A = this chain, B = another copy of it.
Amino acid sequence: MNKRGQETREHIKKCACSLFAEKGFKQVTMKDICEAANLSRGGLYCHYESTRQIFQEIIDDMTSKQDDEFDLKIKENQSAVMILDDILDKYENEMIDSQSSLSIAIYEYFSLHDIASQNNILYEQYLLSANTWKKLIQYGIDRQEFNLVDISAVFDLIVFSYQGVRMYSKLMPVDREIPRRIIKEIRKILVRSDGDGNNI
């Protein structure tokens, strides 16, 4: 793969990604991508042989860019609450960013394939995410910044309510207050309150 070829592939993925975000997975055809990328039919087939392949590569790229921010910060001995607030802030923003979200496309894509398959990247991401969150929550508990919660339960509550809002924000009008309230409620569950019933 030389430089020019690689550039074309990136260009294709960028164009395809917009289409997937806009229309979901199945609704996007090779023809659509040709047109969006300003490439001929044959030209596109030089690089990819199906929308599935393109989509998979987009997802792989996204996954590989995910980093272990927490880990780093934990190692830096930062306050658990500060780390939590950072991540919750990011979640809140993502929840309502329906534009750039591939969520519908991802749901479609995975609903088309065998969910038990070993390559179920959604499941891998879930496990990865679970691992990281659990480390953080344990860290907060250890530092006595967090309540003594059921770690798995809180994690599931966080991740699935996050995903639920993300998806619904593509299906109905979602008030900005909704993610805000959810994030606040989660924070309330985790962070130890002072005697007055407030979180610290």
**A interface residues (Cβ-Cβ under 8 A, vs B):** 24, 26-27, 104, 106-108, 110-112, 115-116, 120, 122-123, 126, 150, 152-154, 156-157, 159-165, 167-168, 170-173, 177-178, 181-182, 184-186, 189
Contacts and interface: CB of A to CB of B under 8 A. Distances in A.
A19 to B, nearest CB: 13
28 contacts: A24-B108, A24-B112, A104-B108, A106-B171, A107-B167, A107-B170, A111-B170, A111-B171, A116-B173, A122-B171, A122-B172, A123-B173, A126-B168, A126-B172, A153-B181, A153-B184, A153-B185, A156-B165, A157-B157, A157-B161, A157-B182, A157-B185, A157-B186, A161-B161, A164-B164, A164-B167, A167-B167, A189-B189
Contact of A182 (B115, B153, B162): B153
Given A152-B181, A160-B168, 10 more contacts: A26-B27, A107-B107, A107-B170, A107-B171, A111-B171, A120-B172, A122-B171, A122-B172, A150-B185, A167-B167
Contact of A122 (B26, B106, B168): B168
A96 to B, nearest CB: 12
A99 to B, nearest CB: 12
Contacts of A164: 159-165, 167
Contacts of A172: 110, 115, 120, 122-123, 126
Nearest to A22: B111
A184 B116 contact: no
A126 B167 CA distance: 14
